[in-house]
Structure formats: C-alpha cells, structure tokens
Amino acid sequence: MPIALYEFGRLAEHVLLEALGNCHFANQSEVHFTIIDSGENRAQARLMQESSNLTSICKIDYVEMALNAQEFSTLSESLLQSVTEHVVCSSTDERSLEVALLLRKRAANAPILVRRQQSSGLAQLLESNRGLPEIPDGLYPFGMLDERSATRTSSPTDSTSVRRRSTVNICAGTPRSSMPNAELTRRTARGKN
C-alpha cells in the first residue's frame, strides 16, 4: 500500500528518504510511494538520477497532474483507496491547505499530513482528530518552522552533516543500522531488539 506524496520538492524528497530509512516490514515487502506532481520540476527524474539504487529498495509510481479541483477529480478512486498515508508537501500554506481539503473530500480512511509553516492559526484547525472516529482519520500539520526552532538542540551543521550521511547510505542501499535488513526482520518477528 503506497504512501502518497503530493508536490514532490525538497521536503517530499526528504520524507521519502526518511521513510526508507525507518520502514522495515516483517514480510520483507518494499516500501511503495506514489508521487503526484504537476511535473514542472521533473523531480522524479532528478531523484532517480541522483539515487541510482533507489528502485532496488522501494517502488515508486509517478502520476503527473496539476493538483487543482478539476484535475484532482480525475485521480483514480482505486489509487486513493489504496493509500495508507497522504503527505502534502506544497511550498505555501495556502497551497497545502487547498490540496488537503481536496483530499479530505475524496480520500479513504487514511491520515493526511499537511505541511504548514506556522503552528498557529489554520494549523490548529487542521488537527481534527481528537480520538473520535472520523473519515478520513484526520488532517495533521507538520513541518512548522516555529516548532522546529523551539525544539532544535543541535547546530545546523551537525544536523546537515547527519542528514547528508543518512541520505547517502539510504541511496546506496545501505540500511541505517549496521544490522542487515533480514536480521532486523528476524529479530522483529521474534520480538527481540
């Protein structure tokens, strides 16, 4: 079941790489992503060119379409029903909210993560899931700059260096831990760490 990334720019690329570094399935299945983007920046081609081993460790489908109400209505119902998580990575708060509201009308019971710059205002309204059943599960803001600056504990150069090393390891097909994926899977299945 795919994770859908909307508007594939730098943030969506980081989300994809972070998911690859953290997702280890007991049945050894690949992580599946669906990238939905207007294709203006040809991000998929750039990502594949920079990360030649990426297709050997995950499955990526690419849907080229503008994310407006008219185009969004043509998006396959089966695709929307199969997605386990929607991640909206638009560059502006207004655009993120527009895509999230389009998804909320059509998406199945899957969380919708919405990139926002500020945790106040509309971001507070997006936090719709208060433990009550709801379809879809809810809208969740992420990536707020004011929250990130408040919780930062390391210097920018330290986190950038770690991020670069992690990205290189993931793209080279090397898992973050020194333990092979098969061993991680066996230990997880047995309940040992």
Residue-range domains of the chain with CATH: 3-190 (3.40.50.720)
Q: Is the pLDDT of residue 193 over 60?
A: no
Tokens of 46: 């750039």
Averaged pLDDT, 35-49: 71
**Residue 120 pLDDT more than 80?**
no
Cα angle: 38, vertex 23, 82; to 5 degrees: 50
Q: Does residue 144 carry a pLDDT above 50?
A: yes
| Distance between CA atoms of residues 24 and 30, nearest Å | 8
The pLDDT of residue 4 is above 90 = yes
Do 67 and 7 contact (CB within 8 A), yes or no?
yes
Mean of pLDDT values over 97-120: 79
User: Where does the pLDDT of residue 191 fall: very low under 50, low under 70, confident under 90, or very high at 90 and above?
Assistant: very low
pLDDT tops 50 at residue 17: yes
- Confidence tier at 3 by pLDDT (50, 70, 90): very high
Q: How much is the pLDDT for 20?
A: 84
Which has more confidence, 185 or 22? 22
Q: Give the start-end residues of each E strand in 2-133.
A: 3-6, 31-37, 58-64, 85-88, 112-115
pLDDT at 88 over 80: yes
